[in-house]
Amino acid sequence: MRFRLLIIYATLNLVCGCGTRPIQPVTARGKPVTYWVDQLHKSRPKTRIAAVGALQSVGAADLAAIPALIATLSDPDAKVRGAAALALLNIGPAAKDATDAVRRALNDQDITVRRHAEAALKRIAPNG
């Protein structure tokens, strides 16, 4: 039985290359997602907006991207919050975990944040 498993594993390895290449971490703009999540905590809003853009490009490919964008909907800077709402809109249905936070953003004091949140909600959760 063990020999059969070894043969099956070796055959799959040859056919699909499984296990021959190391798993590459998800990156955006040449840097790992953890770098961009860390950038969301920097003092300059432009740095945080750049981080939001990078995380948007990752989308749901890394489990840390969407929760980081959700948290950014509470950023003190309206432009950063708007960028986060727009990023979630662009990610679309894969950002369904953001539904409650996006609903809260519908009451944001900034009209741009509210508009992006409204569009994001329609795309993320079109039925409710």
Is the pLDDT reported for residue 6 higher than 50?
Answer: no
| Nearest Cα to Cα of residue 85 among 43, 128, 55 | 55
Q: Are 34 and 64 in contact (CB under 8 A)?
A: yes
pLDDT above 60 for 10: no
CA gyration radius for the chain? 19
**Stretch (H or E) spanning 31:** strand 31-32
124 has pLDDT over 50:
yes
* C-alpha distance from residue 55 to each of 9, 22, 98 (Å): 36, 23, 14
In this predicted structure, what is the pLDDT of residue 25? 76
Average pLDDT, the chain: 87
* pLDDT tens digit sequence for 42-97: 999 999 999 999 999 998 888 889 999 999 999 999 999 999 999 999 999 999 99
pLDDT value of residue 16: 53
Give the number of residues written for the chain. 128
Contact 116, 89 (CB under 8 A): yes
What domains are there in the chain, each with its CATH number? 26-124 (1.25.10.10)
